[in-house]
Amino acid sequence: VQLVESGGGLVQAGGSLRLSCAASGSIFSINTMGWYRQAPGKQRELVKQRDLVATITSGGSTNYADSVKGRFTISRDGAKNTVYLQMNSLKPEDTAVYYCAAEGAYGPIDWGQGTQVTVSS
């Protein structure tokens, strides 16, 4: 599965951003999609240093990290093969590279290239 993220950028604290992840390839085999983030100072190539933000199944069931509950919303558009992450009330500690992931039975199996989100105080 090929994943391409977009929508990152610089925003002031309290602001909003919407990330998009367009999927292509063998998407029929993917039930769950997720968003992860990697905070500054961590090595981008070390996927174990990426923290789960949210996941969504093909049936629409969602799961969120405690730190983003009530502020972030994950959604998916099956017709467009796209997953979104709406981020509201952003905080400086949300600053990170955000990655889209296709989930397998035991965790992410494919990753996008990442998109930078910077929240200024």
As a whole number of angstroms, the distance between CA 56 and CA 21 comes to 13
pLDDT, tens digit, for every residue of 21-59? 999 987 777 899 999 999 988 777 777 789 999 999 999
Percent share of the chain, pLDDT over 70: 100
User: Which of 4-8, 39-43, 60-64, 77-81 is the least confident region?
Assistant: 39-43
- Residue 74 contacts residue 54 (beta carbons within 8 Å): yes
pLDDT, tens digit, for every residue of 83-101? 999 999 999 999 999 999 9
Q: What is the pLDDT of residue 48?
A: 77
